[in-house]
A and B are shown apart, each in its own frame.
Chain A
């Protein structure tokens, strides 16, 4: 590269964990020293890494990584904001793609669960309402790519980000697609 040419614009990346366990975020961190290469090419918007509260508030994000499925109304609101403010939205991990282990409650009645866990139905305006069923995110918004795994391997995150940064359609390499 010519030393005088401007460095390419950094891609803006937002990440969130909805009804997830942050395990996918931990796996993203497992790209280890490659994080130094990554921050040369991307800057983070809303993410647990930045503590920014609103996605794409000042400018559109290029990539949104969504961990976790949808278990309550707040999850749905945040997901819709991600879809509106991210050009490419990626479902990350088993819960975002299938509902995952939180969806094990789908054959139980929400009221019965509340009573058996809390002894009463919690009633506070600050609490988001639970959904009847835990949903995978593709049932509510359009998803551009999915990264399966519980969690997806760090190498799968790295490959996906490399592909998106280079403008390629991400296709996971054999061995990087796994569901457990």
Chain B
């Protein structure tokens, strides 16, 4: 980085930006953590989880879809934004059925680690306990809708990487759900293959390749680091 490279200011740190960058992609490349659930550099942004909401020159925007602008002042870790993130995470927890103690994704789960980092100790809201039947019809991939946070990563991966469009989002409000493109609406009748990127991109335990759940033991997983596991 030379002195003339364009940068923006993220919580007091200069972040270099390249043409086409969003605030989040530039920050991630520079090694800064902007909390997020639904963003991946592999697919386009969708701004569905809103965890990455930052103040860009004082205006709240989703960092994952907002173009980075040279000279802009971006605030990410303010007390009010951190509280908003905590409440968003608590709403995601009560809107689904998230049983971390019994989930094979535990330790690899982005929702879990974001909540731990946000200091979430309780649900704050009333647990809704929605009814969502498990779909185990696919021979190699389990669909556990109780854990789905509607981040749309599988939707975009199936469309943009796999070229299959197996998934879509349907319904409105609290009834919004993940749809599967098959005659029966079940995963086993869809074109999804376990080799598809969409089968592996889920940040939570909603889409899980079968028979490898505990191949990596609890305690040796992606987020089993000192800052999250004492």
Contacts and interface: CB of A to CB of B under 8 A. Distances in A.
Contacts, number: 83
A175 B230 contact: yes
- By size class, the interface of chain B is 20 to 34
Contact of A172 (B100, B121, B127): B121
B93 A145 contact: no
Contact of B101 (A101, A146, A175): A101
Given A106-B129, A175-B230, A100 B121 contact: no
B41 interface: no
A70 B128 CA distance: 15
A91 interface: yes
A174 B230 CA distance: 7
A136 interface: yes
A8 B206 CA distance: 52
Interface in A129-180: 133, 135-136, 138-139, 143, 145-148, 150, 153, 155, 171-180
- By size class, the interface of chain A is 20 to 34
A172 B119 contact: yes
Contacts of A175: 226-230
B123 A177 contact: no
A99 interface: yes
Interface stretch (B20-28, B51-59, B72-80, B102-110): B102-110
Interface of B: 93, 97-103, 106-107, 112, 115-117, 119-124, 126-127, 129, 131, 218, 226-230
Given A101-B102, A175-B226, A178-B229, 13 more contacts: A99-B127, A99-B129, A103-B99, A106-B129, A138-B123, A146-B122, A147-B121, A150-B101, A155-B230, A171-B119, A175-B230, A179-B101, A179-B106
